[in-house]
Amino acid sequence: MAIVDVTIIPIGTETPSVSQYVACIHEVLKTYEGKVTFQLTPMSTLIEGELPVLFEVIQAIHEVPFKHGIKRVATNIRIDDRRDKLSTMEGKLEAVQSKLAQTSSEIYQQDKIN
């Protein structure tokens, strides 16, 4: 399973706001529910699934601004494809949170001693 961080950038919009394109992109993502998991962030969208499906999804969402009259689109894609063990968005967050909890506990113990 892979995780992609994707940003679709419509170029030449009438206003600086692109939220309407983001909303349309997420409507397309909903059609892939069950095949991928996705999460909107303030700057991009994270999508998790099998790599061939992810490429299909990326192509579909890349087309959204074109379907709404935009003539140029830039798409940034970052892929995390770990193959030695199952890697999920949730699992990655849990791993960091457990490390943060350990660090907090260690700091707490040091404060009690001093």
Q: pLDDT value at position 84?
A: 93
Question: Which residue type occupies 68?
Answer: H
pLDDT at 11 over 70: yes
Residues 6+ apart with CB under 8 A from 44: 5, 6, 7, 76
Confidence at 113, pLDDT banded by 50, 70, 90: low
3-state secondary structure of 86: coil
C-alpha separations of 98 from 37, 46, 87, 92, 95 in Å: 23, 21, 16, 10, 5
Average pLDDT over residues 46-57: 98
Structure tokens at 51: 């790599």
Which has more confidence, 29 or 103? 29
Structure tokens at 106: 């260690």
pTM of the model: 0.84
